[in-house]
Each structure stands twice: as C-alpha cells, then as structure tokens.
A and B are shown apart, each in its own frame.
Chain A
C-alpha cells in the first residue's frame, strides 16, 4: 500500500506539474510537450493503480495525439516559439476563480469514516439512500 501511495503521489505530482506547465510557458511547442509529459504521467499513474491495460493504452494513444497536437501548433500558431511575447490569454481572473473552485475541495469534504469533523455523509439529514443503493444529497 505504501509503495502504491508513493507511486501515485510521484506520478500525480508529475502530472500536475506538467499540466500547470502547459499554461505557464509562452512557447506553444513547449506547451504541447508538457501536455505529452502530463499524459504520460497519467499513464504511469494508471499503472500504479494496477490498471495495466488502461495505462499502456493511455501512453500509446496520448503519445500519438500530443505529437499531432504539437504539429498543429506549429502549423496554425502565429507565434509557436513564443518569441514575440504575444498575449494569448483573456478573462484571467474569471478563469483563475473557476479553476480554483473546480480543483479545491469543498468545506466538509473530509467528513465521514476516518475523516475530519462532522457526521458521516450517509448519516447527515440531507442524505438519502435510494432503494437501489445510490446515495443522494440535497445540500
């Protein structure tokens, strides 16, 4: 379990780092290569989670797809090398807020067995367990 946790953390941090690098660099070719590395790290993460078929499939498919994407970048971009220092972004504040709200766990996310404070999710009054076994929350 510990080895798997270390492998998941390693490949996960690599995927997050390269994924952030996609939008941090000005060179579009570097962006495509960073995305390729992020997808390869995801393949490693799948292998660490013992999904061998999906891991190898991810490595093969995304390797091809991101290489294609790099070629299209060079074909279509006005400044693929990022040497012209062009501004290629807009509505940054909205995007940053949306990204943060998409990634950040909501308050009470650790509630439940083994988690932090508060009752377990299935014990909350707002939680209903449907006859077919799925839980649903009204709040």
Chain B
C-alpha cells in the first residue's frame, strides 16, 4: 500500500462518516459537524493528490486553502443561522424547522 492509497482511503472514510452524520443528525450544530468531516475528507484527497502527483505545482495547496475558507464560512453562516433560529423558536432542532422546506 502506498501513502497515496492510504490517504485516499482515509479521505473516503471521513467523507462517508461525515455524510452519515449530516443525514442522520437532527441538531443543526451536529449537521455542521458532519459537513466539516466531509470537507476534511475532501482536503485529504486534495493534499494527497498534490503531494504524489504534482508536488511542484502549488495550485493543489491553493485548492486546500479554498476548502479551508469554505469550512470557516460554513461555520460562521451555520452559527448565524443557529443563533437566529434559537432566538425565534428556542431550538435548533431541524425536525421542528418544517417551514424551511422548499
């Protein structure tokens, strides 16, 4: 087994765990945790491919920086939604947020 394959397996496992969490949890903050894990799995893939395919090109690291920014933004927006929801309804349970359905 090569480090690339090991890293890709780790990324896939993290993505699967995050997907399970994002779909199964009812609390907004727990759903955000699942999304964070999925993005973490994507970052592992990006770093592994950068390191083992084109280590001389730093565009791969730039992609990871973009994903990190998306993670930070997701947390900021998610916490904003959580605060607004908690103020309006007193709960961040997504089972009770049926009015948000499209």
Residues of A within 8 A of B (CB): 1, 4-5, 8-9, 12-13, 15-16, 19-20, 22-23, 28, 31-32, 35, 38-39, 42, 45-46, 48-51, 53-54, 57-58, 61-62, 65, 68-69, 72-73, 75-78, 88-92, 94-96, 98-105
Contact = CB atoms under 8 A, between A and B. Distances in A.
A96 B33 contact: no
A90 B24 contact: yes
Given A51-B61, A90-B24, A92-B24, A69 B51 contact: no
A37 B26 CA distance: 23
Interface in B35-85: 36-37, 40, 43-44, 47-48, 50-51, 55, 61, 64-65, 68, 71-72, 75, 79, 82
18 contacts: A5-B1, A12-B6, A16-B10, A22-B21, A23-B21, A28-B27, A28-B29, A39-B40, A45-B44, A48-B3, A51-B47, A72-B29, A73-B29, A88-B25, A88-B27, A95-B23, A98-B20, A99-B20
A76 B92 contact: yes
Residue among A62, A78, A92, A102 with max Cβ neighbours from chain B (10 Å): A102
A13 to B, nearest CB: 8
B32 to A, nearest CB: 7
Contact of A68 (B9, B15, B75): B75
